[in-house]
Amino acid sequence: MVLVCLYSVFCLAFLFVSHALFAVQTENKAEEADQPVEITEPVYGPVTEEESIKEQEALQAAEPVIPDEDLALHFLSSYDPIMMNSDVMAFYGHPNAASMGIIGQYSLEDLEPLLLKFAADYDAVNGTRTVTPALYLIFGTCWPEGEIGYLNSETCKKYIDYAAERGWLVFLDHQIGKYSVEYATKRLLPYLQYENVHLALDPEWRTTKPMQEIGWVTAEEVNKAQQMIQDYLVENNLPGKRMLVIHQFKPWMISRRSEVRSNFERVNLVHCADGFGTPAQKKDSYAANAEAKNIPLKSFKLFTKPVIAGAGYDTPMMTPEEVLALEPRPYLIMLQ
């Protein structure tokens, strides 16, 4: 499990960055002020560790067991998913904040050779599979009191176009804040008109008290988000099968996890093990996610040493061989 004390250190750094982004992104909120904000459901605060353990024990027996050899069946449909034959290698961050990940530390031109080197290191050890580079952008940042600062459309388009020209993917990650999962998903949907764009939701920041509590979502909400994505693709005659990444590093972050569906024809749900720490801590966190066999597509996140002193990172960082040896094997690997 990821250490709570490490999380608190990271929170201090994130609070600094969040306040800085609040200042520079006010114009983004004004830009999109014509879209009404409606809170359609209460914000969920954290449950206790004891409550979470009891719930997971009660539901674990009901979780469907999917043999590893049948994993490919979850890919089979009339829409070819990328991860059938390729590992996705992503750089994570916010273009306007160097302290929120590697993306904000470099221009796109300087980022490109670093991302290609990261992908090549995994391509060298992943057998016959290929690699697909990706940019993983924090699209909606949770501010104090759960407000959301949005990456402006011009910046999004710049990164999407740059990636598309090179055959890369783009993930847009929404931290949710005080709003509903449905509202967060609606804000993301229009970007699906770009064929290389995929979506992500981060339950950690589904809260009005960022850095003070870790939020959560329900299985029903995750399923609803997938249905919304699928409906949008069909209604707008958009091509392809898209990914929805859901982050988790604490048991309560996905309530009633065994009820999450992963059988939507147009959506590949990807379950990301988030959080920094030692290899042993990260393997424990990944093993906890691996128990959710009803979400067979897994992801793993790595943390480089940050530019802000005191923020957490992986010590030491796991090698490509160690990451790909995880069980079950992750198909999306990201570096913050």
Residue 65 has pLDDT above 50, yes or no: no
Domains of the chain and any CATH numbers: 4-35+44-335 (3.20.20)
Which string of DSSP letters, residue by residue, matches 142-190?
EPGGG-EEEPPHHHHHHHHHHHHHTT-EEEEEE--TTS-HHHHHHHHGG
Q: Tens digit of pLDDT for each residue in 115-135?
A: 999 999 999 999 999 999 999
Q: What integer best gives the mean pLDDT of the chain?
A: 81
At 47 the pLDDT is 41
Q: Tens digit of pLDDT for each residue in 32-56?
A: 333 333 333 333 344 444 544 454 4
pTM: 0.80
Nearest to 65 by CA among 330, 294, 300: 294
Residue 328: cis peptide before it, omega within 30 degrees of 0? yes
- The confidence band for 212, taking pLDDT boundaries of 50, 70 and 90, is confident
At 60 the pLDDT is 45
At 306 the pLDDT is 76
Q: Tens digit of pLDDT for each residue in 150-196?
A: 999 999 999 999 999 999 999 999 998 899 999 999 999 999 999 99
Please give the residue that has the higher pLDDT: either 145 or 10.
Answer: 145
Instruction: Give the Cα separation of 267 and 280 in Å (integer).
Output: 32
C-alpha distances in Å from residue 215, one per residue of 48, 147, 206, 249: 12, 14, 5, 11
Q: Which of 23-32, 139-148, 149-158 has the lowest mean pLDDT?
A: 23-32
Query: Average pLDDT, stretch 220-236?
Result: 98
